[in-house]
Amino acid sequence: MISMKFVDEVKITVSSGRGGRGAVTFRREAYAPRGGPDGGDGGDGGSVIFKTSRHINSLVDYKTHRKYHAEDGHNGMAVNCAGPDGENLILIVPEGTILRNAETNEVIHDLTETNELMLLKGGRGGKGNWFFKSSVNQAPEYAQPGEDNHSMDIILELKLIADVGIIGFPNAGKSTLISRISAAKPKIADYPFTTLTPNLGVVKVGDYSSFVVADIPGLIKGAHLGVGLGIQFLKHIERTSLFVHLVDVSGMSGRDPIQDYEDINYEIEQYDLMSKDKDGFFPMTTRPQILVLNKIDLLSKDQLDKLIQTFKKKFNVTAYAISGVTGKNTPEVLKIIADRVLKSKGIVEEELT
């Protein structure tokens, strides 16, 4: 489960290390009063490197500390000794983190595709005066300064990596469903916005396969404009290959299931329109959905059959009916979800047995 201290976007400043100065020294020994130059080179400055870890799920560690500097290279020394290189600065971020240029908002790199990136290289160390010795100038009294470092303001943006995104209105039963089908244990209560952070659960399929499900905090009308928990969570379903659209059919919320279904899809459409010009954006309206009607234990069979037919007639979609609380029909629907996900990964049913 994602930590309740969930931070998915933060601006930081990173700097590589400056190169060390080359030394200007001359060999001084008892029987060599006019020894030649022996100033060593300066060390290279440390670089700024980003690495991903699957063991962290938030950018919370970068919330309070905003400036990061790799170590400078050390200056050269006498007796032709080079200064040590500065240590690299290695910053650990969750898988799925995007690096953006804070000035232009352009994507620098998506750490979904690779798990390591050297963002800024440290400055080279300067050459000591021994390097400049020649037949013309056998006692150079100058050396190179180290190269300057590089600095950049960047935005770290986390987008969860999950195969399945569970979407729907607050209190539709998303947390209950993810807790039933995976080992995740999100907070569950009977009021809107119980889930204030996304939750991840791993669903095991057979002995060797699994997929990741994300329980996204409930959306409401106007979410694409930031209403409620809003747009900050819509981005977390961009990477999913499949949506499970959960609709509360109990009537206890006072909302109409048909209208709920339309409203959530409208928010996704509007988010696509707002995000279509972003680098690497993949429209969410093209993602397949599995419609799941939840809390059916509070409906009669006739009411449920009529509602399923209404969805079929109006939207041409097949609605699957479950009770997340009692578990009714959940294994059957889970198999449908698993088959869809694993086929998208190129895993056939025979490989699961």
Q: What is the CATH number of the domain that holds 139?
A: 2.70.210.12
Q: Count the Cβ atoms, other than its own, within 10 Å of residue 320.
A: 19
291-308 per-position pLDDT tens digit: 999 999 989 999 999 999
Q: Which domain holds residue 232?
A: 164-352
Q: Write down the pLDDT at residue 291.
A: 97
Name the domain count of the chain.
2
134 with 217, same domain: the answer is no
6 with 137, same domain: the answer is yes
Among the listed residues 81, 64, 83, 156, the one whose alpha carbon sits nearest the alpha carbon of residue 122: 83
Give the C-alpha separation, 33 to 260, whole Å: 91
Is there a contact between 57 and 112 (Cβ–Cβ < 8 Å)?
Answer: no
Give the C-alpha separation, 110 to 280, whole Å: 9
109 with 149, same domain: the answer is yes
Residue after which a domain boundary falls, among 128, 158, 188: 158
288 with 304, same domain: the answer is yes
Helix or strand holding residue 337 (H, E): helix 330-344
Q: Write down the pLDDT at residue 191.
A: 42
67 with 198, same domain: the answer is no
Q: Write down the pLDDT at residue 34.
A: 66
Residue after which a domain boundary falls, among 158, 176, 192: 158
Q: Write down the pLDDT at residue 270.
A: 83
228 with 187, same domain: the answer is yes
Whole-structure pTM value = 0.68
267: CATH: 3.40.50.300
171 with 293, same domain: the answer is yes
62 with 192, same domain: the answer is no
Residue after which a domain boundary falls, among 130, 158, 186: 158
Among the listed residues 172, 130, 145, 107, the one whose alpha carbon sits nearest the alpha carbon of residue 25: 130
Residues in the chain: 353
Where the chain has pLDDT below 70, the residues are: 1-6, 30-34, 183-198, 207-208, 217-233, 278-281, 346-353
Q: Write down the pLDDT at residue 353.
A: 43
Give the C-alpha separation, 330 to 90, whole Å: 44
